[in-house]
Amino acid sequence: MSQISARDFMITKLVTLRPEMDVMKAVQLLLKNRISGAPVVDQDNKYLGVFSEKCSMNVLLDAAYEQLPSNEVRVFMDTEARTIKPDTHLLSIAQVFLLTYSRRLPVLEEGRLVGQVSRRDVLRVSLDLLRHNPVQQPEKSLLYLSALVERHESPLA
């Protein structure tokens, strides 16, 4: 399982947004495609950030209280969203999803968007791997289970 990296299962056909795009059109695009967010890229496919449902909530609040000071995606996108590289291992990706609120991780190579991995993608590939390669070494399973118990008992869990 640890040999699988983002490159092996990332989605490469993505809905992307431009920073100058009208923010209401961006919200409509998220709803139309039933996605919770999309990467924002420039004309050279350089990654700039993510525009998500959460960002859309800022749009709604600004529209209600401030008469929407700008109508461009660039004003509302998250430029601090986490990203990963194509060689990031599956278990490392799962760890990021476990420890953060991220729902998707753009995959960047030299600053350019090459794909994206979602929580659902990680679950899908993990389940497939477990179905086809059941755990054969009980000592590793016990080690994993003990780590789960420790994490469950930790006050940070």
Each residue's pLDDT tens digit, 87-145: 999 999 999 999 999 999 999 999 999 999 999 999 999 998 888 876 655 555 545 54
Any idea where the domains of the chain sit in the sequence? Answer: 6-153
Residue 114: per-residue pLDDT = 97
Rounded to whole angstroms, the Cα distance separating 50 from 83 reads 10
Determine the CATH number of domain 6-153: 3.10.580.10
User: What pLDDT, in 10s, does the model give residues 30-56?
Assistant: 999 999 999 999 999 999 999 999 999
Task: Give me the count of residues in the chain.
Answer: 157
Rounded to whole angstroms, the Cα distance separating 25 from 13 reads 20
Q: How many CA atoms lie within 13 A of 71 on its CB side?
A: 4
Least confident of 56-60, 84-88, 144-148: 144-148
Res. 146: pLDDT tops 70: no
Beta bridge partners of 78: 50
Residue 20: per-residue pLDDT = 97
